Structure 1
Amino acid sequence: MTEPLSGTFGNSQVTPEQREGKIRAVFQAVAGRYDLMNDVMSMGVHRLWKRDMARRASAKPGQFIVDLAGGTGDIARLMAAPDRLVVVCDPSKAMMEVGRARCPDSVRFAEGTAEAMPFPDSSVDLVTIAFGLRNTTRPDQALAEIVRVLKPGGRLLCLEFSQAWPLIRPFYDAWSFHVIPRLGAWVAREPAAYEYLVESIRRFPERDELADSMRTAGLVEVGWRDYTFGIACLHQGTKS
């Protein structure tokens, strides 16, 4: 059983406010090299996961779509088109500045946290969030906020790292705990940031726990699918 994220950062006990400040500092420091680091750490596989997520999102003309914690806009770019509104919502100005330079003009950007988005009730058709839920200070509050902004029948797609299947778990753990922080030091020049990343993955709820939290928040038709031997998992739910 994994431990809840709230109140932790690395191995130290901190308040949610302190944790939020530390997370923002991490992304401020690595913003310009974030996508490169993801390519190196996953050997490019994260892009396949994200493409499949965007395909399953099935963005349609006329929809209002929020890519939550979308930062550099790599998910938003996959869903963008002139006939729909795609908005990246992220608390990191540095990450969004990188995203603005890479996204088409049809993608908009709005500063906001997962726990407090600047959108009206029942206004959003689709929310996507990739590798961002574990970085929230209060995941249950973030899920409730997602449900608040979704229209009835609106969908959430949440891509997150997960617990690898038992067969490969020893190899994946060795990669995560010994290789990734060193890659962080080499490519991103921020080893502490990637030590935090590994720790946040370890502490993130397992699949069925997250599914239960989504149902508690008010989502139905909740389910998930694994990617790459369970290293990542795509969770889905619909607002009733």
Structure 2
Amino acid sequence: MAVALVLAGLCYSSWLLEFVLPVHADPVNSFLSELDAEGKPYRWVFSTGDKITATLLIPTALAGLWLFPRRALTTVGWVALLCFSASTIADVLLPLHDCGTPGAPACAEKALFPQLHQPHALSSTLAVTSIAVAVFAFSLAAFRYRPHWRILRELGLVFLILGALATVWMLVADNLSGDYALGIAQRIQVGAMSLWLAALGIAVLREARDDMLTP
């Protein structure tokens, strides 16, 4: 489980390859969904990263529900991770329309309710919402069920705050005129999600170790 979570966080960071591959995207103003939009030359690279992430998290979340003590907050967290996995798969199956095709819908997702325009935006919204629920649920669990999930009270909390600030940045800037580097905000948000998944993996490893050491 721990290895799967760390690998999932790594694979969900496949967008970092935009700085290596010639995708010609503007990280300041473009959204990550544009990297695997229909017709993009390296779509398979980024969509494969998402597929592997979801494939790793589905059995991991199910194992978490089965192996760890049933507590309300952690149960919500594992279920939310399952929802995140399903939404991520939907993201891959429902990519944005090709941004380069004349007359095609724009790739930008700046509208607060972009799901009214493209199915992909709805699946992305569900994915972000699901993992946000998971992060908050596990963070609350880390404080409520002491001494368990210590890593999530320390390192995980940093990523929670970082992701929350980026989300507020996006929501506020979305309702203002002008450009406010929404691409940077989203990359910080998704980066925080990836790091949190890795932190959850470390927390799971420590929980398993502590259980073995407990007489």
Q: TM-score range by the shorter chain?
A: under 0.3
- For normalisation by structure 2, the TM-score amounts to 0.28
Which one has a larger percent helix, Structure 1 or Structure 2? 2
Higher CA-based Rg:
2
Greater fraction of residues in strand: 1
